[in-house]
Chains A and B, each alone.
Chain A
């Protein structure tokens, strides 16, 4: 088992691109080697040790046995855990955009809030956000065909707009409320919103969205086709979004 602690010294406002921070990249390396890795800050290259104090306990060649704990101010640190395949990252504060983007395995826990695009194009593993999260969580890169294709995202707080945009598979659970159009252009997979939602399912073609709270501004382009009991609660079942050809999305709402 290898435990790596990164303590942020950074309080600047220019974002830092930190896709290098993954168990895959860190496993088997000592504090010095990790500190010498490059990060982008704006258009400059900086060393990881310029941004973080690095300490390492134990050693493992296997990313699966590698855990990274990130402490301190990280709200301008982007892309943490991008593309990781295994192991674990725990972020004690807030994170900037693209946390866990293209993640394929392992687990990320964000104890604070996450900015937009967390879990973008994620295909496996688990992303747990204990605070709130912004827009396009589990969504697609701009212009891309698919968003999230696997794995699980849980947000304990509220989420912004376009949750699970173009999502193809996997699962997203939001314990709070969701802003505009969760499941936008969704193709598959499952989104559960325990709180309220606004206009869910816009242009969805497949997959399932369940809204357990109140829904504001329902899309008029869904057709009700039955009732179902989920976890003891009675839901109306809708198919849509019928503004899209051959749409087979399923949307559950109360009433």
Chain B
């Protein structure tokens, strides 16, 4: 029995309505408890204490991330850190090796991560890498946005089969929920084209983004999946795409869900809030987009904040990566994942003097400042697309300090004062709101009831930061804020101290969470279709497909209650 007492910290725990209280926290056997008997005592008098951070959207593991590493040895040599007696070596700045990913998150007080894009076909690769990411608990989002089975069932109006396929695919890929990238448009990219609105039917399947989104949102509800459909919008990263983000969010308005979370999440909103018709008249449309968020309780967003510097962009949206590499002339890679998805990668250097980049930088911050309810916002950089996740401390300090934003605005291209609205925004985030957008919002959105808070019964995932929130004024001492969030005093994961004074002191594998939404007769519903297309089109056989449990570290299954099973009659042979 291991016990811990964290004494006298200033606790912010939004999900339990604890806002800056001096408070003791008791830990036994990896859980928060009401009292302890003979604990190890950490007296953190006056220091900021938050629940362990939850990364809601990042690209950390799998074929695409690894292709990025292979493509960028020059990135690999940045951020080198030697191995120690307990840690493996670290490498990379934007495409980080698996060990470095775990250590760097842990040093920043994060204890849970979501890999945002997992193709079913290469899910084994994703889990092989997840297995080697130390410390963190791990979830992966399975890609469905232009999967052939999905589009075929939607085209035929076979919702039961669609639900069965999604349940099967989540189980076989060990995925947590439904990720949708460039719905319908991704299929057109295989013909070198794209879609321009959410109502345009695509080539060969004739289904639109709207049909895919609303069908999968329905299936998400039928299967009782814990997470909203997680959407990367059409025309992402293109001027004049803000109306698509709004149209996409509107699909969820009025939708009824039994789960206590939004039914739809629009990811990396920074890449989807663009006005103008061309790059020449490119401008921020954050005001319009956030107006929709503020009036639609059914949608949440994450920022996808862009920070200046060198990074690597990577997404299942192959068309976007091609457009980007045409802009920069940089190296580029594209892949087609058979009948399921695709992807592209290209490096980017975001420069504060470039008008486009300066406006993009402003848009991410504007989104956070304009959405009223912090539970509808998650802090992300869409790692590594907007910037590496290691820039979070700087983003936090920008959200907390108007002075810092003002200083930055003076440094970046002047166009930001005309074609963005950041300079007119006075709001400054408080500690509680920062705790919300880095932990509580994600825990709620993923329905991780033991995460993102430190109430009794929660996992003992705790971050203690070397800063006294009662003495420091984040509005003025923004550099202190950035420093404090860069490396914790303590990170505690499952009741164990893993980081002490910014250094990793203990390493062990975290849990792997996935969702099992199978229902009576679900496989029989789709068996013939699977066998048919696997024998005709796939390069692997059905029996060699999918991820077995041996790939998962400490697997934890989320079992759902699908509202479909009993009423399905499987036809006799």
Contact = CB atoms under 8 A, between A and B. Distances in A.
B505 interface: no
Interface string A118-144: 000000000000000000000001111
Nearest to A244: B329
B64 to A, nearest CB: 17
Contacts of B72: 143
B115 interface: no
Interface string B71-102: 11111010000000000000000000000000
Contacts of A141: 73-74, 77
Contacts of A142: 73-74
A141 B71 CA distance: 12
Residue in A141, A143, A144, A145 whose Cβ sees the most chain B Cβ within 10 Å:
A143
A143 B92 CA distance: 13
Contact of B71 (A143, A144, A245): A143
A44 to B, nearest CB: 13
Contacts, number: 14
Nearest to A141: B74
Nearest to B71: A143
Q: Is the interface of A mostly helix, strand, loop or mixed?
A: loop
Residues of A in contact with B, size category: under 10
A186 B345 CA distance: 24
Nearest to A140: B74
B84 to A, nearest CB: 14
Nearest to A43: B83
A204 B205 CA distance: 44
A141 B329 CA distance: 19
Nearest to A205: B329
Interface in B325-355: 329, 331
A141 B77 CA distance: 10
A250 to B, nearest CB: 21
A77 B329 CA distance: 37
A248 B72 CA distance: 27
Contacts of A145: 74
A145 B73 CA distance: 11
A145 B74 CA distance: 9
A245 B326 CA distance: 12
Contacts of B331: 143
A245 B71 CA distance: 22
Contacts of B75: 143
Nearest to A245: B329
A50 to B, nearest CB: 20
Interface string B42-84: 0000000000000000000000000000011111010000000
Contacts of B73: 141-143
Nearest to B331: A143
A35 B404 CA distance: 48
Contacts of A144: 74
B139 to A, nearest CB: 31
Nearest to B76: A143
Interface in A139-177: 141-145
Contacts of B77: 141
A59 B55 CA distance: 54
B385 to A, nearest CB: 19
A244 to B, nearest CB: 10
B89 to A, nearest CB: 11
A7 to B, nearest CB: 29
A4 B242 CA distance: 66
Residue in B72, B74, B75 whose Cβ sees the most chain A Cβ within 10 Å:
B74
Interface in B457-473: none
A148 to B, nearest CB: 15
A143 B426 CA distance: 43
Contacts of A143: 71-75, 331
Nearest to A144: B74
A245 B329 CA distance: 10
A141 B331 CA distance: 15
14 contacts: A141-B73, A141-B74, A141-B77, A142-B73, A142-B74, A143-B71, A143-B72, A143-B73, A143-B74, A143-B75, A143-B331, A144-B74, A145-B74, A245-B329
Interface of B: 71-75, 77, 329, 331
Given A141-B73, A142-B73, A145-B74, 11 more contacts: A141-B74, A141-B77, A142-B74, A143-B71, A143-B72, A143-B73, A143-B74, A143-B75, A143-B331, A144-B74, A245-B329
Query: What 3 A-B pairs are tightest by C-beta distance, nearest first?
Result: A143-B74, A144-B74, A142-B73
